[in-house]
């Protein structure tokens, strides 16, 4: 049976659409409704019909979905690549349906490391939105919402879609061996965690802009739900370090998993989306 790599084409199509739409919106010739569908948050130009918008605080749903899925995937990776038991047949058939992969494209060491890093990222983002983030009163288009949900659903699956033990009829080595972890993978893991730390700092700086001087948590500490220009840490060098850190982290995952891995398409999509968002976010800071 021939399969279409649905995950690959979704991420590639998303990268192309975001790039084209970004150029059109930036040209100033896009219809007003078109602009409002694309922009949200501090870059939003005006409110749209409530029927096609949801609160921006619903970003939390991305991390709730992602944390549940990555927990399941992490458990499967441990079962397959550490314990040595094959992934459930239904999961391998599902991955085969979503991709056209017939052989692993990465090592067990790469899969274990990448899954651990992605788990740390999603759990940290969930923590931020529960205990650090101060949501604004802005709204986002429902298209942004569903693209975000799909990003986490497919992005997590993509890590193991071409992994040893997860591919149908795979007879390659499954077991993780830490001594086989390359120095490049270790360096990428360290760079990932550096970007992970600075993204956390950037999000803390964003939250502090909306809190009183005491810095105490809770609703009483929030004094402003508007947008202001942040300063400190990587903000001294770039206008949107949280986007830059995201691109760095996904690039590291791509290097760890290898250029032939499906995750490359996800990295391209994230890179294009965050670059466009960073451009408009930087324009807001300079305005």
In terms of pLDDT, which residue wins out, 118 or 277? 118
What pLDDT is stored for residue 213 in this prediction? 59
d(CA 163, CA 4): 18
In terms of pLDDT, which residue wins out, 250 or 262? 250
What does the block give as tokens for 190? 């360290």
Q: Spell out the alpha helix ranges (H) of 28-107.
A: 32-38, 59-77, 89-98
What is the pLDDT of the chain when averaged over all its residues?
Answer: 82
Write phi, then psi, for 242 (nearest 5 degrees).
-65, -35
Give percent above pLDDT 90 in the chain.
43
Contacts of 126 (CB under 8 A, 6+ apart): 60, 63, 64, 66, 67
Sort 47 into a burial class: Cβ within 10 Å, 0-12 / 13-18 / 19+: exposed
E strand or H helix at 123, and its extent? helix 108-127
What does the block give as tokens for 256? 């760890």
C-beta of residue 19 within 8 angstroms of C-beta of residue 272: yes
Whether pLDDT at 216 is above 50 = yes
What pLDDT is stored for residue 207 in this prediction? 87
What pLDDT is stored for residue 272 in this prediction? 64
Length of the chain equals: 287
Q: Is 213 helix (H, G, I), strand (E, B) or coil?
A: coil
What number is the average pLDDT over the span 205-230?
A: 64
Sort 213 into a burial class: Cβ within 10 Å, 0-12 / 13-18 / 19+: exposed
Question: Taking the CB of residue 75, how many other CB atoms lie within 10 A of it?
Answer: 10
Whether pLDDT at 82 is above 70 = yes
C-beta of residue 8 within 8 angstroms of C-beta of residue 268: no
What pLDDT is stored for residue 157 in this prediction? 93
C-beta of residue 96 within 8 angstroms of C-beta of residue 3: yes
Tell me the pLDDT band of 126, cut-offs 50, 70 and 90: very high
Sort 4 into a burial class: Cβ within 10 Å, 0-12 / 13-18 / 19+: exposed
What pLDDT is stored for residue 176 in this prediction? 94
What does the block give as tokens for 276? 């466009």
Tell me the pLDDT band of 220, cut-offs 50, 70 and 90: very low
What pLDDT is stored for residue 19 in this prediction? 78
Tell which residue, 152, 140, 177, 122, has the closest CA to residue 57: 140
What number is the average pLDDT over the span 17-38?
A: 66
Domain chopping of the chain, boundaries = 6-45+53-286
Tell me the pLDDT band of 271, cut-offs 50, 70 and 90: low
Tell me the pLDDT band of 270, cut-offs 50, 70 and 90: confident
Tell me the pLDDT band of 273, cut-offs 50, 70 and 90: low
Low-confidence winner among 3-12, 125-134, 251-260 (lowest mean pLDDT): 3-12
C-beta of residue 210 within 8 angstroms of C-beta of residue 222: yes
Distance of CA 91 to the CA centre of its chain: 22
Whether pLDDT at 180 is above 90 = yes
Whether pLDDT at 54 is above 50 = yes
What number is the average pLDDT over the span 250-279?
A: 77
* Maximum alpha-carbon separation in the chain: 63
């Amino acid at each position: 049976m021939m399969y279409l790599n649905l995950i690959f084409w979704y991420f590639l199509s998303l990268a192309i659409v975001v790039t084209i739409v970004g150029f059109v919106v930036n040209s100033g010739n896009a219809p007003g409704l078109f602009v409002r569908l694309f922009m949200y948050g501090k870059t939003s130009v005006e409110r749209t019909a409530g029927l096609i918008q949801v609160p921006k605080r619903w970003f939390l749903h991305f991390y709730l979905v992602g944390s549940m899925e990555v927990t399941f995937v992490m458990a499967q990776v441990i079962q397959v690549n550490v314990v040595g038991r094959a992934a459930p047949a239904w999961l391998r058939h599902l991955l085969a349906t979503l991709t056209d992969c017939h052989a692993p494209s990465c090592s067990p060491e790469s899969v274990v490391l990448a899954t651990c890093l992605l788990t740390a990222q999603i759990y940290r983002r969930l923590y931020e939105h529960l205990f650090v983030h101060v949501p604004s009163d802005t709204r986002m288009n429902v298209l942004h919402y569903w693209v975000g949900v799909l990003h986490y659903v497919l992005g997590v699956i993509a890590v193991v879609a071409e992994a040893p033990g997860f591919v149908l009829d795979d007879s390659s080595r499954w077991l993780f061996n830490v001594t086989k972890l390359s120095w490049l993978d270790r360096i990428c893991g360290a760079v990932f965690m550096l970007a992970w730390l600075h993204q956390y700092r950037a999000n803390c700086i964003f939250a502090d802009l909306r809190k009183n001087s005491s810095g105490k948590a809770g609703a009483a500490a929030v004094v402003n739900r508007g947008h202001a220009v942040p300063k400190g840490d990587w903000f001294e060098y770039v206008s949107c370090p949280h986007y830059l850190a995201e691109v760095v982290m996904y690039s590291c995952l791509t290097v760890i998993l290898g250029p032939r891995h499906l995750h490359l398409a996800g990295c391209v999509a994230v890179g294009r989306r965050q670059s466009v968002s960073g451009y408009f976010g930087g324009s807001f800071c300079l305005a």
